[in-house]
């Protein structure tokens, strides 16, 4: 692993509904940065080149902006998702799609969900509504993630270790 590539550390929790968790996030000092709105993510690959390495290349459009993200192979952890990640904003999703196609990549999976983004100085929280349920993602320092889970009364049994791409496929939405 390249030590110059930052690691993304997060947990995804399957929650019964968004409302009560949003209220608790507010009580815990989180501020809503982006209210709930549609997000579209497209995974790109050359055949199965990236997938075979445990990597992903994602083009995301959300809140009037677009990002290109490379995710490296996961690092084993029983609760948290830890993996190298590089991400940058892009000016035009359409131009980026053209660049990816010119480089031999093709879209392999398109996913849509509704996401609200919350932040606190030490942690990011995303409340996601998908066709297969509601989820809370907490991203940041592992100790802070665990503390906020405890503060929310959400135990490790709610952790969803499967990725959104896997869940979309398993629910016949890919």
Bridge partners of 114, per DSSP, are 38, 129
Is residue 174 predicted with pLDDT exceeding 80? no
Is residue 1 predicted with pLDDT exceeding 70? no
> Which tokens belong to 40?
């579209």
Helix ranges (H only) for 113-162 are: 142-152
Domains of the chain: which residue ranges?
7-170
Is residue 173 predicted with pLDDT exceeding 90? no
Q: Report whether CATH 2.40.320.10 matches the domain 7-170.
A: yes
5-39 pLDDT, tens digit per residue, is: 999 999 999 999 999 999 999 999 999 999 999 99
Is residue 136 predicted with pLDDT exceeding 90? yes
- Which helix (H) or strand (E) element contains residue 114? strand 106-120
85-105 pLDDT, tens digit per residue, is: 999 999 999 999 999 999 999
- SS3 assignment for 5-39: CCEEEEEEEEECCHHHHHHHHHHCCCEEEEEEEEE
Is residue 62 predicted with pLDDT exceeding 90? yes
**28 Cβ partners below 8 Å, 6+ apart?**
120, 148, 151, 152
Q: What is the mean pLDDT of the chain?
A: 96
The pLDDT of residue 159 is: 96
CA 72 – CA 5 distance, rounded (Å): 9
How far, CA to CA in Å, does 25 sit from each of 18, 104, 130, 160?
11, 42, 20, 19
Is 0.75 surpassed by the pTM of this model? yes
> Which tokens belong to 130?
């998908």
Mean pLDDT value across residues 54-60:
97
């Amino acid at each position: 692993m390249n030590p110059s590539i930052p690691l993304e550390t997060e947990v995804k929790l399957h929650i019964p509904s968004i409302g009560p968790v949003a209220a608790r996030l507010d009580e815990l000092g989180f501020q809503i940065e982006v209210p709930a709105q549609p997000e579209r993510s497209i995974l790109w690959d050359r055949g199965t080149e990236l997938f075979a390495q445990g990597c992903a290349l994602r083009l995301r459009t959300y809140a009037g902006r677009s990002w290109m993200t490379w995710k490296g192979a996961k690092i084993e952890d029983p609760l948290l998702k830890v993996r190298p990640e590089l991400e940058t904003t892009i000016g035009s999703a359409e131009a980026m799609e053209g660049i990816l196609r010119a480089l031999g990549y093709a879209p392999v999976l398109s996913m849509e969900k509704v996401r609200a983004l919350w932040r606190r100085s030490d942690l990011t929280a995303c409340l996601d509504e998908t066709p297969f349920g509601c989820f809370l993602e907490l991203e940041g320092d592992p100790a802070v993630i665990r503390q906020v889970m405890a503060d929310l009364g959400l135990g490790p049994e709610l952790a969803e270790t499967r990725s959104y791409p896997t869940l979309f496929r398993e629910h016949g939405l890919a």
